């Protein structure tokens, strides 16, 4: 299991000082604005670790669609020549203490087979609705996709290529894995079918820290998995690490960083530990913001010194190793297959029901595998984005990357300037944001507070939906 969605990122140079280059009229905010109360900046100072924002809006803002629109109507006016294809496998061999993903442990072989049957029916229904769809990039996430045996992985890839028309040997394909399931036979299937990136959730190279995060694993198992990935000759390896684990120190964090760097992975993600409701660590309550920030800064500086470039608060990459793709997460759509996958059009994000609790997750999976093909031809749960929410999504998806937001691209799409549309002076006043005539971007200090800035940018309507969501 890994902890993030796969999205393409770009790199830009950070600014040189608080407030420089903002120019006249910065932050006039004549259109959507950051939302009720956000311009006070109060939420910005509460904690640097409020929420990891990898998509906007979050699934907890989705609601049942009534009536349920037909997918052919949802996609009728969309550009479908450069889509992201996402496959969701909701199975893991274990559930880590920090995990709040939609996943089930210990799924028997007959359930996995039934799930692949349902994916085949769903793919057929989606292909009927979007017959001319073409894909620029693809990812398989979860859960842990390599929970599937080698033959099951081959079947997943076969049915997707045959029905959806995706050529995995011609487009970037990323797959998530875990130390226990990154076996040579599974990796051989992925490599032979064109996988370009494997992401492995290591979290810590120290056995004691892995146990503290309720992730029982041994370093020997981790090292064997990494050796198998490198032996498979998959072009890009990503290693996930977590900081803020109980008992972790700067010295032990350095040991994990160096152990990861020994493999010279093309990418490294550094995640702060979160304690979330309905997870194995959900009853652990303590304030460790200062520790996490200190470890983040240590990890960032260590990776930069090792020759990596920073792409976002979490992502670090070896220069020149990024996958080449025409997909742009701010502009292009995404087709999701699987009971936990999202799909994005310009005006509607949709999925199935969301849950974290074991009983509800199992119920949703059981319902999914029993669905007839015609039931997959509609959007069930979702969020409709009006013009204001589309602009806000573009801002959130851009600003939390080192490259920042391209003001000309924003204007070409929305017909206005981002600094007129949003009140961002609270960020600039803290030294977290800078701008010039071409871009708006977060300073290094701002990037460090991405998990505060992201939620602060949410609209009032989205916050209300998220706050009223009954987490199951």
Residue 463's pLDDT is 95
- Could you tell me if 5 and 88 are in contact, meaning their C-beta atoms sit under 8 angstroms apart? no
Rounded Cα distance between 285 and 199, Å, is 30
Residue 14's pLDDT is 23
Residue 278 pLDDT exceeds 50: no
Query: What average pLDDT score do residues 51-63 get?
Result: 92
Give the closest residue to 315 by CA, choosing from 269, 272, 271, 273: 269
Residue 422 pLDDT exceeds 80: yes
CA distances, 370 to each of 113, 118, 266, 365 (Å): 12, 7, 40, 9
DSSP annotation string for 92-105: ESS--TT--SS-EE
Residue 301's pLDDT is 98
- Could you tell me if 244 and 213 are in contact, meaning their C-beta atoms sit under 8 angstroms apart? no
Residue 192's pLDDT is 97
Rounded Cα distance between 144 and 459, Å, is 32
- Could you tell me if 328 and 8 are in contact, meaning their C-beta atoms sit under 8 angstroms apart? yes
- Could you tell me if 210 and 203 are in contact, meaning their C-beta atoms sit under 8 angstroms apart? yes
Dihedral of alpha carbons 230, 295, 97, 206, sign: positive
DSSP annotation string for 42-56: TGGGT-S-S---SSS
95 band by pLDDT with thresholds 50, 70 and 90: low
- Could you tell me if 427 and 38 are in contact, meaning their C-beta atoms sit under 8 angstroms apart? no
Query: What average pLDDT score do residues 346-359 get?
Result: 85
Residue 177 pLDDT exceeds 50: yes
Query: What average pLDDT score do residues 245-261 get?
Result: 96
Residues 6+ apart with CB under 8 A from 423: 27, 28, 29, 33, 34, 39
- On whether the 38-56+386-468 domain is CATH 1.10.287, my answer is no
What's the mean pLDDT when you consider all of the chain?
A: 86
Residue 469: CA count within 13 A, CB half-sphere:
21
For residue 11, the Cα-to-chain-centroid distance in whole angstroms is: 17
Residue 68 pLDDT exceeds 50: yes
Residue 104's pLDDT is 65
Query: What average pLDDT score do residues 100-113 get?
Result: 78
- Segment 406-409 long-range contacts (CB within 8 Å, at least 24 positions apart): 406/438, 406/439, 407/435, 407/437, 407/438, 407/439, 407/440, 408/438, 409/330
Give the closest residue to 383 by CA, choosing from 355, 421, 345, 422: 345
Residue 98's pLDDT is 52
Residue 13 pLDDT exceeds 80: no
386 band by pLDDT with thresholds 50, 70 and 90: very high
Query: What average pLDDT score do residues 394-418 get?
Result: 97
Residue 20's pLDDT is 26
Residue 86's pLDDT is 96
Rounded Cα distance between 396 and 385, Å, is 14
Residue 283 pLDDT exceeds 70: no
pLDDT tens sequence across 288-347? 799 999 999 999 999 999 999 999 999 999 998 865 455 677 677 999 999 999 999 999
Residue 3 pLDDT exceeds 60: no
| Three-state secondary structure call for residue 459 | coil
Residue 418 pLDDT exceeds 50: yes
Residue 429 pLDDT exceeds 60: yes
Residue 94's pLDDT is 62
Rounded Cα distance between 385 and 362, Å, is 30
Query: What average pLDDT score do residues 461-468 get?
Result: 94
Query: What average pLDDT score do residues 14-26 get?
Result: 28
Residue with the bigger pLDDT between 157 and 364: it is: 157
Rounded Cα distance between 201 and 133, Å, is 32
Peptide bond into 387 cis (omega under 30): no
Q: Where are the domains of the chain?
A: 38-56+386-468, 71-317
107 band by pLDDT with thresholds 50, 70 and 90: confident
pTM: 0.88
Rounded Cα distance between 373 and 226, Å, is 39
Residue 360's pLDDT is 81
pLDDT tens sequence across 188-197? 999 999 999 9
Residue 214 pLDDT exceeds 80: no
Query: What average pLDDT score do residues 43-58 get?
Result: 87
Residue with the bigger pLDDT between 1 and 249: it is: 249
Residue 353's pLDDT is 85
Residue 156 pLDDT exceeds 70: yes
Residue 363: CA count within 13 A, CB half-sphere:
9
- How do strand 63-64 and strand 381-384 relate by DSSP bridges? antiparallel
Lowest mean pLDDT among 305-314, 360-369, 420-429, 452-461: 360-369
Residue range 71-317, CATH number: 3.20.20.70
- Could you tell me if 131 and 164 are in contact, meaning their C-beta atoms sit under 8 angstroms apart? no
Q: Which residues are registered as beta bridge partners of 199?
A: 176, 238
Lowest mean pLDDT among 265-279, 416-430, 442-456: 265-279
How much is the CA Rg of the chain, to the nearest whole Å? 21
37 band by pLDDT with thresholds 50, 70 and 90: very low
Query: What average pLDDT score do residues 107-119 get?
Result: 93
Residue with the bigger pLDDT between 277 and 397: it is: 397
Lowest mean pLDDT among 23-27, 82-86, 139-143, 434-438: 23-27
């Amino acid at each position: 299991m890994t902890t993030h969605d796969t999205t393409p990122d770009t790199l830009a140079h950070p600014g040189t000082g608080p407030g420089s280059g903002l120019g006249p009229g910065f932050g006039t905010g004549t259109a959507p604005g950051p939302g009720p109360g956000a311009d006070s900046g109060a939420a910005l100072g509460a904690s640097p670790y409020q929420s990891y924002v990898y998509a906007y809006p979050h699934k907890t803002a989705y609601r049942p669609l009534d009536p349920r629109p037909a997918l052919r109507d949802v996609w009728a006016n969309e550009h479908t020549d450069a889509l992201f294809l996402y496959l969701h496998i909701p199975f893991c061999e274990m559930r880590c203490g920090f995990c709040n993903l939609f996943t089930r442990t210990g799924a028997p072989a007959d359930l996995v087979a039934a799930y692949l049957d349902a994916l085949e029916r769903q793919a057929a229904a989606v292909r009927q609705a979007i017959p001319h769809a073409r894909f620029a990039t693809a990812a398989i996430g979860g859960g842990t996709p390599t929970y599937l045996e080698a033959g099951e992985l081959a079947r997943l890839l076969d049915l997707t290529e045959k029905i959806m028309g995706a050529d995995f040997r011609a487009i970037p394909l990323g797959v998530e894995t875990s130390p226990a399931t990154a076996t040579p036979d599974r990796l051989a299937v992925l490599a032979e079918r064109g996988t370009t990136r494997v992401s492995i959730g290591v979290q810590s190279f120290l056995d004691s820290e892995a146990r503290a995060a309720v992730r029982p694993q041994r370093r020997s198992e981790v090292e064997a998995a990494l050796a198998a990935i490198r032996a498979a000759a998959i072009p890009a390896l990503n290693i996930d690490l977590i900081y803020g684990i109980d008992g972790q120190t700067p010295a032990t964090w350095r040991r994990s960083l160096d152990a990861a760097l020994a493999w010279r992975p093309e990418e490294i993600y550094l995640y702060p530990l979160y304690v979330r409701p309905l997870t194995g660590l959900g009853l652990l309550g303590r304030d460790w913001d200062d520790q996490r920030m200190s470890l983040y800064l240590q990890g960032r500086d260590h990776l930069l010194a090792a020759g990596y470039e920073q792409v976002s608060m979490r992502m670090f990459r070896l220069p020149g190793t990024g996958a080449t793709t025409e997909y742009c997460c701010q502009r292009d759509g995404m087709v999701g297959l699987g009971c936990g996958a999202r799909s994005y059009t310009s005006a509607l994000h949709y999925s199935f029901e969301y849950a974290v609790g074991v009983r509800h997750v199992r119920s949703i999976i059981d319902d999914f595998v029993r669905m007839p093909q015609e039931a997959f031809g509609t959007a069930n749960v979702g969020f409709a984005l009006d013009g204001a929410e589309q602009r806000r999504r573009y801002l959130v998806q851009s600003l939390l990357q080192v490259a920042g937001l391209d003001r000309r691209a924003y204007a070409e799409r929305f017909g206005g300037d981002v600094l007129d549309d949003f009140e961002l002076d609270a960020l600039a006043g803290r030294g977290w944001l800078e701008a010039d005539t071409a871009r708006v971007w977060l300073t290094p200090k701002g990037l460090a507070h991405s998990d505060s800035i992201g939620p602060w940018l949410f609209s009032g309507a989205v916050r209300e939906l998220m706050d009223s969501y009954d987490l199951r």
